[in-house]
Structure 1
Amino acid sequence: MSVRPQPTRVVFLGGLGRSGTTLLERLLGELPGCVALGEVVHLWARGVLADEACGCGEPFGACPFWLKVGDRAFGGWSAERAERVLELRRRVDRTRRIPGLARLLAEERAGAGVWRSPTVTEELGEYAVAYRRLYEAAAEVADSPVVVDSSKHASLAFCLAAAGVDVHVVHVVRDPRAVAYSWRRRVARPEDGVPMTVWSPARTSLHWLTQNLGLELLAREGVPVTRIRYEDLLGSPARTLRRLAAGLGVRPSLGFLGDGEAELSVAHTASGNPMRFTVGRIGLTRDDGWRTGAPPRQRSLVTALTWPLMLKYDYPWRLS
């Protein structure tokens, strides 16, 4: 008698980069029944086309895990498929399309099933199917019913939800002044040594607002969304992970956590923060260098631009 595989559950980590999503993904990937995939939104360009390194250190095209995933999902990876997904992303997975995707979700919930552009609907369906097939194949290869995608973009979360993917969003937030300070740092990508993007405090504030408000709207449309603050994750890792595990229906086996540290195993993450390559013991301490390192004028500007949402997330106006 054959055993039916468990349905795949997708945990989507949303928020703005430099908010702790890669750390949270690595910690969730240590839970039984969870597998971390990295930023899947970038897999098509950086993995399939550019053959950048997997989190295990092997080139994407030579990683046994991703070779199996590609075979089961698509009969093998191909440049043509990756380019098609990237084309669809440019057409349907954009921040400016969030209001339309929100209307689609509302209409689906109401049973209206009405969408003004059949072409967009077909393209959205094709786009989401590529992700669904990838998620299901990764869950099967890893023998884990829960896959963790740290793509972050609110627009992708909307696309998945609007197309009927079983997705649970974990909304990761961090004090916007800390995020802005981090985006000012010059960090080289370990894959090629190229400096990562640097943003001004004003631009970071705009993106912080846009992504967080997008995820707030997603929650209003009935999609399961759990908010986690970076500061709470680092302040109490075990409590935060137990809370998440309970919501995701996985066993909170936290033997990899120690006193202010964690032990990380190899992860097959396709893209993301340089921390995805880290294996072994890491410290779990808050990075609060922005409190003394960020110029007061920069902190004041970010506060002035983001204060309504900042206060909603319990970040104080003035630093103690």
Structure 2
Amino acid sequence: MDIVLGNHSDVVSAGELTYLIDEWRTDGRPCACGSPYSNCEFWQGLAEVVSVSEEMAEIVRKIEHRRATLSVLTDTIPPEAKEAYRRFQKGVFSHLKEAGGASIVLDSSKSAGDAAMRFYALSEIVGFDVHVLHLVRDGRATMASYVNKGSNWALEGHADPPTLPGVRAVGGWTLANLWTLGISKMYFRPDRYMRIRFEDLTTHPARTLKAIGAFIGINMNTLIARVRRGDHFDVNHNVGGNRIRHNRSIQLRHNSEADRQPWSNLDAHHSSFFAIFGQWLNSVLGYRW
């Protein structure tokens, strides 16, 4: 969804911006275009405007991580850390708007740990007009992907294969969705929060894109026409994300209703585990067993 929306002339897609400094400073984690961030035509020059130091990375984590929830919500973050965070994010987002020639920055940071408070902090600490687009997926499909394929970082050789992948998948999926639902409902106006089902994006892309356009105030007709033609969408210069960032372009796969059960190959053990610990939230999100 990030890549498709990022091909709109009013939107600049940036991927998982919460990991910008970490990826910038890590060998073997280049921009999606394949170049190191310091040499990338899109990101080049950012380091002259903002600090991409380890110290700045620590400030970002201290404000955006789930452990910072109480401090952020009660406004007890040290003033100097808040000001450094504010300057950094304003510099990054200004660079993105100028480099992308767009008025809207799309940030797809989604970690239930590292980025749990990011959308709140960007709104309340930095002062941005934040719209939360909450993309959900049937938890069984999320579990099947994690169990059968593994984590992206492990597959790319940047981490060890996860232990107890079924438990980790259900735990992470539950926490991420509950967290986003709770913070959004408590602290964001109804017109600043929208939930989209991944399955609706792939089975009814035109209708779903039109709804997203109405939510963020842009016309989606050009993107809808491209989806209908089966056009490819440029990946551009995203930070982080899954393995498709290594492709120069992607297509939005159009699934039929019959293709909406990618969890069918889960074994009985994992299916039972999800039924006990995850289906209650699946039902809240609109997914029947």
Under a length normalisation based on structure 2, what TM-score does the superposition of the two structures give? 0.84
CA distance 1:303–1:161, change in 2 (3 Å): farther
| Aligned counterpart in structure 2 of residue 65 of structure 1, from 42, 48, 62 | 42
Q: Aligned-pair distance for 1:269?
A: 0.8
Instruction: Name the one with the larger strand percent.
Output: 1
Counterparts of 1:125 and 1:182 in 2: how far apart (Å)?
40
Q: Distance in 2 between matches of 1:292 and 1:302?
A: 13
Asked whether the equivalents of residues 38 and 150 of structure 1 are also in contact (C-alpha less than 8 Å), the reply is yes
- Asked if 1:157 is matched to 2:123, the reply is no
Alpha-carbon distance in structure 1 between the residues aligned to 2:87 and 2:145: 35
1:44 aligns with 2:21: yes
Return the alpha-carbon distance in structure 2 between the equivalents of residues 192 and 311 of structure 1: 33
Supply the distance in 1 between the matched residues of 2:94 and 2:87 (Cα, whole angstroms): 10
Distance 1:213 1:266 in 2: 29
Whether 1:200 and 2:144 are equivalent positions in the alignment is no
**CA RMSD of superposed structures (Å):** 2.6
SS in 1 for 2:102: coil
The answer for the alignment partner of 2:193 in structure 1 is 225
Q: 1: distance between equivalents of 2:13 and 2:71?
A: 30
Q: Is the 8 A contact 1:54 1:270 kept in 2?
A: yes
Deviation at 1:236, TM superposition (A): 1.0
Give CA deviations for 1:154-207 in whole Å, capped at 9, x if unaligned. Answer: 321222223122211111111111111112223665996446753622222222
Return the alpha-carbon distance in structure 1 between the equivalents of residues 65 and 250 of structure 2: 37
1:212 aligned residue: 177
Q: 1:188 to 1:231 in 2, by over 3 A?
A: closer
Kept after mapping to 1: 8 A contact 2:3/2:235: no
Which runs of 5 or more residues in structure 1 are unaligned?
1-23, 105-114
Give per-residue Cα distances to partners, 1:267-291, cap 9 Å, x unaligned: 1112211112323452514575643
Deviation string for 1:183-238 (max 9, x for gaps)?
22236659964467536222222222211111112222125211111111111112
Change (3 A) 1:41 1:193: same
- Does 2:261 match 1:292? no
**Highest RCO, 1 vs 2 (Cα 8 Å, sep ≥ 6):** 1
- What amino acid is aligned across from residue 200 of structure 1 in structure 2? P
Structure 2 gap segments, 5+ residues each = none
1:139 aligns with one of 94, 97, 100: 97
- C-alpha change, 1:174 and 1:159, in structure 2 (3 Å) is same
The share of aligned pairs that are identical, in percent, is: 25
Aligned residues: 274
Residue 314 of structure 1 aligns to a residue whose secondary structure is: coil
